[in-house]
A and B are shown apart, each in its own frame.
Chain A
Amino acid sequence: MVTVVADVPRESDASASRAQAVQWRSLLLPWLPPLGLLAVWQWLSATGIVSTAIVPAPLDIWNAARQLAERGELQHDILVSLRRVAIGFSIGAASGLLLGLVVGLFVVARDLLDRSLQMVRTIPHLALVPLMILWFGIGEEPRLILVAMGSLFPVYINTVGGIRNVDPRLIELGRSYGLGRAELVWSIILPAALQPILVGIRYALGVAWLTLVVGETIASRDGVGYLVQNARELLRIDIIMLAIILYAIAGWLSDLVTRLIEQRLLRWHPNYADRGAP
């Protein structure tokens, strides 16, 4: 009984070009399902199997986008929404990170704040929408506050958890090699907690977009959510679907950015391959 575990007759460039082919494949393959879906969808509409009154064809949506873009509305609404997410998310994530660091590093802060924060966390922040509208009207503040609230807790919880789970042996190492408190935090605790923190940030970005959708749909004068709101009144299903696609692209892009940051910051991690520093 012979079991061939491996049989590579000679080292060759074939394996290198195969590796390259695999890389191309994993770059291109993910695009196949969405593009295929679009093609099938267009075909279904063109043949009249699906009524374009209910589900507009991809080309209709494209045309709607072009029209909106020509009037400058599309760009304006996208920029407005992006700005809201960026500001709200930055405030929320930064506060979450800061609170998480303080609570994770100082026992006094944990005793003082953690329970209260956990209690606030259990309130679904979207439940505050009506209150926010009553307090702030449909100005800019309620949306920013909501987005910030939504982004704060995922970052907070992951930061605290990440710091709490740092290998105590590495902290001991730092202490016995003469690191001061600040250096210990910077060289050991933060890098060790980085992965969960980044997971929290990625999750928070998703929540930020979700919050914005709700915020803009309910009370707004511009932004992608307003586009939807307006389109619903005008029965423009094509614009509604356009907005949905825009949200999908935005979510995908922000995820991509965080993934790239993750890969860069965690390049020492065995799960993120690419060994060796630049």
Chain B
Amino acid sequence: MNGAEVSLRSVSKSFAGRSVLRKVDLDIAAGQFVSIIGPSGAGKSTLLRLVAGLDAPSVGRIELRTTGHRADVRLMFQEDRLLPWRTVLGNVRLGLKGRDREARDILRAVGLQGRETEFPVALSGGQRQRVALARALIHEPDLLLLDEPFGALDAITRAAMQLLLEQLLAARPRTVLLVTHDVEEALLLSDRVLLVKDGGVARDLVFDRQRPRHRGDPALAALKEELLDGLLTAEGNLPAVA
């Protein structure tokens, strides 16, 4: 078994009295790739932070189960959170001993070879995000949490990074939770898509389709419609367009 098993039991979270998640129950199998979609402010990042143990739930229980050892978790934050005083390479190697070669390899994989000794100020938004991605991917945690890892990337770079993620996971499978605003990306990469809205999991689609998947797959198109519907009804209080 590769990766950690995750379970949430009636987990609620509120900030200063404002409830964000209400009684969420969730079981994620080891090695499953789960995408989380949902409108802005629905509590997707909050959910990841709870699973990562960075925040405690207001009430409820969260468990990570692994065989033999304590579960190792890495979260790639929604903002890049690069350390400005460390070079690109130094940022990727944060928390690692040695592994210089690997860090250089993964930087090449995210298309940043030749930028290793630069400081983050000199990078563009998308480049910074790729450094943060490299930093998250070089670790081999049982549970990898990615909060909109490709948000700042153009379509082509994004496709390349998705491929990279798939390759790395194929080589070393583990449990992944990926927050994304891109329904197609969710369908392309994951075994399961959760739609988070109104404080809970509104849709839970599990599908075991072959990989690699293709954007044109008609079955995916149908699922996409369904999920977009779910998203749209969630944003029922959008201002009406005259």
A residues near B, CB below 8 A?
169-170, 172-179, 183, 187-188, 191-192, 194, 267-270, 275-277
Q: B119 and A170: CB pair below 8 A?
A: no
* A191 touches which of B74, B79, B85, B94 (Cβ 8 Å): B85
* A275 with B119: CB separation less than 8 A: yes
Query: How far does the alpha carbon of A269 sit from the alpha carbon of B139 in the complex, in Å?
Result: 27
Q: Given the known inter-chain contacts A169-B79, A275-B121, A276-B122, please indicate yes or no for A176 contacting B52, CB distance below 8 A.
A: yes
Docked-complex contact A170 and B83, CB < 8 angstroms? yes
Shortest Cβ distance from B116 into A: residue: A277
Minimum CB distance partner of B94 in chain A: A177
Q: Which one of A174, A175, A192, A268 has the greatest number of beta carbons of chain B within 10 Å?
A: A268
Q: Which of A169, A178, A192 contacts B95 (CB 8 A)?
A: A178
B54, B79, B84, B117: the one within 8 Å of A276 (CB): B117
Q: A176-B54, A176-B75, A177-B74 are in contact. Are A276 and B118 (CB under 8 A)?
A: yes
Kindly list chain A residues whose C-beta atoms are within 8 Å of the C-beta of B135.
177
Which label, helix, strand, loop or mixed, suits the secondary structure of the B interface?
Answer: loop
List 17 additional A-B contacts (Cβ < 8 Å) besides A176-B73, A277-B117. A169-B81, A170-B81, A174-B95, A176-B54, A177-B94, A177-B95, A177-B135, A178-B95, A183-B95, A187-B83, A188-B83, A191-B83, A268-B86, A269-B85, A275-B119, A275-B121, A275-B122
Count chain A CB atoms within 10 A of each CB in B95, B119, B122, B135 and give the residue with the most. B95
- The smallest C-beta distance from A263 to any residue of chain B, in angstroms, reads 14
What residues on B are CB-neighbors of A183 within 8 Å? 95
A176 contacts B118, CB within 8 Å? no
CB within 8 Å of A: which of B24-58?
Answer: 52, 54
| Complex contacts, A178 vs chain B, CB 8 Å | 72, 95, 139
Size category of the B interface is 20 to 34
Q: Contacts A172-B54, A177-B94, A177-B95 hold; do A277 and B83 have CB atoms under 8 A apart?
A: no
Assess the A270–B81 pair: CB atoms within 8 A: no
Most chain B CB inside 10 Å of its own CB: which residue of A174, A176, A192, A276: A176
Chain A contacts for B72, CB-based, 8 A: 178
Bound together, the chains give a CA A187 to CA B83 distance in angstroms of 9
Q: Which residues of A contact B2 (CB under 8 A)?
A: none
Measured CB to CB, the nearest residue on chain B to A277 is B117
Q: State A188–B74 Cα separation when bound (angstroms).
A: 18
Residue B87 at the A interface, CB < 8 A?
yes
Closest chain-B Cβ to A113's Cβ sits at a distance in Å of 28
Q: Which residues of B contact A179 (CB under 8 A)?
A: 94-95
- Binary A-proximity of B48-72 (CB < 8 A = 1, otherwise 0): 0000101000000000000000001
Residue of A nearest to B52 (CB): A176
Residue of B nearest to A188 (CB): B83
A-B residue pairs in contact (CB < 8 Å), sample of 25: A170-B83, A173-B77, A174-B94, A175-B54, A176-B52, A176-B73, A177-B135, A177-B139, A179-B95, A187-B86, A188-B83, A191-B83, A191-B85, A191-B86, A192-B85, A194-B85, A268-B85, A268-B119, A268-B120, A269-B85, A270-B121, A275-B119, A275-B121, A277-B117, A277-B118
Provide the residues of chain B in CB contact with A191, threshold 8 Å. 83, 85-86
State A175–B77 Cα separation when bound (angstroms).
13
Q: Could you tell me the distance between the alpha carbons of A154 and B121 in the complex, rounded to whole angstroms?
A: 29
Query: Sorted from nearest, which 5 A-B pairs have the closest CB atoms?
Result: A177-B95, A191-B85, A268-B119, A178-B95, A268-B85
Q: Are B52 and A268 in contact (CB under 8 A)?
A: no
User: How far is B85's CA from A275's CA once the two chains are assembled, in angstroms?
Assistant: 11
B contact residues around A176 at 8 Å (CB): 52, 54, 73-75
